Chains A and B, each alone.
Chain A
Amino acid sequence: MSAMLELDAVSAGYGETEILHGINLHVDRGEIVVIVGPNGAGKSTAMKAVFGLLNIIAGEIRLAGEAITNTPPREVVMKGVAYVPQSANVFVSLTVEENLEMGAYVSAENPAARIEEIFELFPPLREKRRQPAGSLSGGQRQMVAMSKALMLHPKILLLDEPTAGLSPKYRGEIFQIVQNINAAGATILMVEQNAKQALNIAHRGYVLVDGENRHTGTGQALIADQEVARMFLGATAERPA
């Protein structure tokens, strides 16, 4: 298997403050990989590091073998990485269709054909194509955010807590969508709070604690692991402050 994305002993942070202390992580072509861990563990930070949004102090990030350490976001997009932030991930005053067009901004080609393909994947968006994205429900907004990221057939899709703030019904729907787009060929790295559900659909998972790797294994193995279960899966209320 060839690694699509590799984080090799990456230490990173905002300015001088180091948040990630040498984490190792890789995502192989065609995989769904999930990062779980307590709040403040550096899960989202790891994604932002890939996207050139913070300072990488040490280590290397490689995309399909090519080093992309500290590359500015726009160039990371052009190299084939798409990132869906946790919140404010659609342009609320633009229509659904315009959001998708913006997803293809770095390409000079006419996005019309790809937009039709996206509507095949996400039928509810077709009827709302002329509506401002801000008028959609949370779940549908998440669909817009994901489809916007899929516009240019990214090599890897980074999803930061795609189910945050959604009702259980929508949560299941979003995880189903993640599996569908993975089946359609997309490689996915996802950060999730709903760890058990996420690990269930993941090929592999990483547990980050305090900016360091704590556990790694297949999704099922992590769910079965006693310590992981005690710490993160359904026992969040007992977590020491």
Chain B
Amino acid sequence: MMEFLNFYLVPGVVLGCIYALGAIGISLTFGILRFSNFAHGDTMTLGVYITLSLVQVSGLHPLAVAPVAMLLTTGLVLGMDLAFFKPFRKSPTIMLVIASFGLMLMIRSMIQFFWGVQLHALRIGIEKMAFFGPFAILPRHIMIVGAAVVLMMAVHLMLTRTKIGKAMRATSDNPELAALTGIDTELVIRATWAMGASLAVAAGVFLGLDTHVETMMGFKLLLPMFAAAILGGIGRPYGAVAGGLVIGIVEELSSYPWIGETPLLSPGYKAGVAFAIMVAMLIWKPQGLFRGRQF
């Protein structure tokens, strides 16, 4: 029982928090800019490498410099929006998707060019598990889940208490009506990029703290993040959080020895779990759990 909790459920929740933060950006971008942003994963990688450099320069803890990396990444993403997406605002969706695909490759190549392709670490040394009776948890897992909860609450407050946050929800709900209502859609778009990029950087830093830093890390998260966004209902930020948690937990639990002594599913197939959930949702419930927009 404790093995299940300590080695499957807790890591599942940690992974779920990371997916959830990343999926919020994907979901909002789809709801407001109406395209699947393939560059989201590499935006995350970019933020992690900026964090890595800030850590190396300042010697501070990654979480202490992460806010600076979030701001810098937001600035870069707003520049990318001007250069790559704004010219296509009124174009068919496929053009934006392809633009994001190209941007994805460009960001990754730039990262590999400037930082190299070798593995890096955001933290050094081995962490001991903290024990609470039979319950054991890695201190970094407490930190990641705690910080993720704080960020999700901040997102919730922004979306429900501020004028721009409500305008973001309104635009995601019905972009045409938002324009007719006089909502400043360009401002909403900038706020969406800022929120999406910041949360992606946070998610990437959490992943970097939990594992390591490499140039493909964001790309590898793209599929589960999309799966989470679709599971929760595209354009529904709360759905994205729920979807992220579900996918993270299900991925980890899929390799628990439910039947007999061996893992139900070899850990090598973890990524397939997110894919299977995504395909199943698209076939049987394309509007997602929270009734988002259909593809």
Contacts and interface: CB of A to CB of B under 8 A. Distances in A.
Nearest to B179: A73
Contacts of B185: 74
Contact of A85 (B169, B180, B183): B180
A89 B170 CA distance: 11
Contacts of A94: 166, 169-170, 173
Contacts of A8: none
Given A102-B183, A105-B183, A88 B176 contact: yes
A140 to B, nearest CB: 17
A101 B182 contact: no
Contact of A89 (B163, B167, B177): B177
Interface in B216-258: 236
Interface centre among B167, B174, B176, B180 (most CB of A within 10 A): B180
B3 interface: no
Interface residues of A, number: 22
Nearest to A132: B173
A67 interface: no
B181 interface: yes
A191 interface: no
A91 B179 contact: no
Interface in B153-180: 163, 166-167, 169-170, 173-174, 176-180
Contacts of B166: 94, 98, 101-102
Interface in B17-66: none
A106 interface: yes
Contacts of B236: 93
Contacts, number: 58
Contact of B184 (A74, A85, A91, A92): A74
Given A88-B174, A92-B174, A105-B163, A74 B169 contact: no
Contacts of A93: 169, 173, 236
Interface in B107-145: none
A101 B173 contact: no
B167 A105 contact: yes
B170 A102 contact: yes
A155 interface: no
25 contacts: A51-B180, A53-B180, A73-B180, A74-B179, A74-B184, A77-B180, A85-B177, A88-B177, A90-B177, A91-B169, A91-B170, A91-B177, A91-B178, A94-B169, A94-B170, A94-B173, A101-B163, A102-B167, A102-B178, A105-B163, A105-B167, A105-B181, A105-B182, A105-B184, A148-B181
Interface of B: 163, 166-167, 169-170, 173-174, 176-185, 236
Closest A-B pairs by Cβ, 8 of them? A77-B182, A106-B182, A91-B173, A91-B170, A93-B173, A74-B182, A102-B170, A105-B183
Given A83-B180, A105-B167, 6 more contacts: A74-B182, A85-B176, A91-B170, A94-B173, A102-B166, A105-B184
